[in-house]
Copies of this chain bind each other. A is one copy, B any other.
Amino acid sequence: MQQYKKRTHTCGQLRASDIRKQVTLTGWVDKRRNLGGLIFVDLRDRHGITQIAFEPDRSGACYELAKSLRSEFVISVSGSVVSRPEGQANKSMPTGEIDVEATELAILNKAETPPFPIEDSIDVTEDLRLKYRYLDLRRPIVQKNLLVRHRAYQVARSYFDRNGFIEIETPILMKSTPEGARDYLVPSRIHHGKFYALPQSPQTYKQILMVAGFDRYFQIVKCFRDEDLRADRQPEFTQIDVEMSFVDENDVLAITEGAIKEMFGSVIGVDTPIPFPRMTHKEAMEQFGSDKPDTRFEMKVGIFSEVVAESGFRVFSEAVKNGGIVAGICAPGAATYSRSQLDGLTDLAKTLGAGGLVYLKLQGDSIECSASKFVTAEETKKIAEALKAKSGDLVLIITGPWQKALTILGSLRLEMANRLNLIPHNKWNFLWVTDFPLLEFSEEDKRFVAVHHPFTSPKLEDIPLLDKDPAKARARAYDLVLNGTEIAGGSIRIHDSALQTKMFGLLGINEAEAKMKFGFLLEAFKYGAPPHGGIAFGFDRIVMYMTGSKSIRDVIAFPKTTSAMSLMDDSPSSVDLKQLEELHIRIV
């Protein structure tokens, strides 16, 4: 450890206008080149790279010391800014017109050879990158991602602040929630045998804040979910959490649109025209086979049950008779698909839960049908017409219950779009999906579960359905979809304790359970709860889109693996038995 000269400039700052200035720079040795009697060092910090020249004539000691420099050494260099020799300027770098001729050099810290080079393109496993995350984070592309993330925080907060939202922190040590099974638990040392839970979302607290009269609340907040992880999930993730009083759907959607427009505009310079298009859940399913449609390309689903309701092909007619549908998509230009390619698609459909896959190949005037033994030429023609298929196209047909058949078609649609390269990658298609079903029946639990969450209000006109036909009730819920990914979701909430109690009843949450789990919310509703609603944005995913990253791990400073481990610090880890004793727990 030593005293050292402090920098006068960053490594991204010096220009031709600085020539003849005496400067000091600090940073990391990015590259060192020996050119005959001269040593060049690219000195790097977060702000850029400046080339340092060490000449034996100018400062012999300094030149000798420079010989010992290796990649990633931390140094402090003083010298004068000089113009690069004629023809050697590098126009592609902001600092490319100048060098710093070193007269003083101090090595602030040495470095071992890194396990991978500090460059954007590296060919190493993600595990190695995560273990040496501090080196991975030096790579310009990862730094850029986190700078975009930084800017996104600031722009989002400034927007909500300007729009009268109050930032309020909600507890991290909270009460276990209804979806408790996925809660991370924290044993209490003081209260024997009791636990806190980490929030899956601050849902109940933000509703309490509305009851408390804060009117407009926001927070960029960590949430936690202990689930078996998928590639794009993390055990802790960040959301922009928003709640508003005295509003309806249109107010929440408008505030959200403003936030998205400002974030994408200010942070990455992408203009997003608002308002965003809206589509009901039913429309989304029936046109795109998805509740988060990617609308960057067409290939819409067509339902033509009536065309084949009386078909001699029983797969078709029975599906219709059983209340299901017959529907398909038309993959343009895929009529050339080979038998084995088609078998592959059939296997895929089966993996997705289909009984099978029927296809039509349109070539010239002929239509070849995989079930031609049973389907008449008349029928295939009508199907092709229904889907506006033309010569060269491939039609894929699925039958079955509405939800299932459409979901399979939605997946096939995405698969075919990828195979046929139909997805334009420079589009930003935002879309609202509204009017979700309030409830869905869980075959596993043999009861209704909330599609959004138990606090979501039914549409006012559907309240009578709660007694008559709950499955038909629609929710005042909305999702914001970007290019086929949900990036925000919310709802107008129930603010009436009687309706909330009825909702718990429908969900099979009995009174004692409801009281234990969120009695405080029901209790709060008795003291004058305003109508309110809100939304939560998936912040990690939004930044992932903004930076064009493939994984949310690339926009999180210290992500965990898909098995919820931190490879850098090797957590979770074992702890002292003494600590467990204090917490009154034992490992089983």
Listed in ascending order, the chain A residues whose CB lies under 8 Å from chain B are 1-4, 6-7, 10, 26, 28, 44-47, 72-74, 76, 108-112, 114, 132-135, 137-138, 143, 146-147, 149-150, 153-154, 157-158, 161, 166-176, 180-181, 183-198, 204-205, 208-209, 211-215, 222, 224, 226, 228, 235-236, 238, 245-248, 251, 457, 460, 463, 494-496, 499, 516, 518-520, 524-531, 556-558, 560, 563-566, 568-576, 579-588
Complex CA–CA separation, A169 to B161 (angstroms): 20
Tell me whether A138 and B213 are in contact in the complex, defined as CB-CB below 8 angstroms, given that A74-B528, A74-B530, A529-B109 are known contacts.
yes
Assess the A143–B180 pair: CB atoms within 8 A.
no
CB contact between A496 and one of B109, B170, B576 (< 8 Å): that residue: B109
Partner of A154, one of B76, B157, B187, B576: B157
B residues within 8 A CB of A226?
189
Chain B CB within 10 A, most for which of A170, A181, A190: A190
CB of B172 within 8 A of CB of A214, answer no
Q: A72 touching B528 by the CB < 8 A rule?
A: yes
Name A214's closest neighbour in chain B (CB-CB).
B46
The complex places the Cα of A180 from the Cα of B195 at a distance, in Å, of 19
User: Which of the residues B7, B143, B168, B198 comes within 8 Å of A150, measured between beta carbons?
Assistant: B168
Q: Are B169 and A566 in contact (CB under 8 A)?
A: no
Instruction: Select A109's contact among B251, B528, B584, beta carbons within 8 Å.
Output: B528
- Shortest beta-carbon distance, A135 to chain B, in Å? 6
- In the complex formed, the residue of B with least CB distance to A140 is B213
* Chain B hits for A47, CB < 8 A: 215
With A173-B571, A222-B172 known as contacts, the answer to whether A109 contacts B194 (CB < 8 A) is: no
Q: Are A134 and B212 interface neighbours, CB within 8 A?
A: yes
Assembly stoichiometry (copies): 2
Assess the A529–B74 pair: CB atoms within 8 A: yes
Asked if residues B193 and A574 are in contact (CB atoms below 8 Å), the reply is yes
Chain B nearest Cβ from A213, distance in angstroms: 5
Given A133-B208, A571-B174, answer yes or no on A557-B169 (Cβ-Cβ < 8 Å): yes
CA distance A211 to B251 in the complex (A): 45
A169 & B556 in contact (Cβ 8 Å cutoff):
yes
Tell me which residues across on chain B come within 8 A of A154, comparing CB atoms.
157-158, 161, 167
User: Is the Cβ of A195 less than 8 Å from the Cβ of B572?
Assistant: yes
B579 contacts A110, C-beta separation under 8 Å: no
Q: State the CA gap A173–B222 with chains docked (Å).
A: 11
Is the pair B181, A26 in contact by a Cβ cutoff of 8 Å? Answer: no
Task: Give the docked Cα–Cα distance between A276 and B575 (Å).
Answer: 43
Given A28-B528, A528-B72: A171 touches B573 (CB 8 Å cut-off): no
Say whether B46 contacts A213, CB under 8 Å.
yes
Q: Are the CB atoms of B529 and A183 closer together than 8 Å?
A: no
Cα–Cα distance between A236 and B185 once the two chains are bound (Å): 15
7 closest Cβ contacts across the A-B interface?
A: A137-B212, A111-B528, A194-B572, A175-B571, A72-B528, A188-B572, A175-B569
With a cutoff of 8 Å between Cβ atoms, the chain B residues found around residue A158 in the complex are 154
**Which residues of B sit under 8 angstroms from A6, Cβ to Cβ?**
246-248, 251
B172, B558, B584: which contacts A224 (Cβ < 8 A)?
B172
B215 touches A46 (CB 8 A): yes
Cβ contacts under 8 Å, A73 to chain B = 528
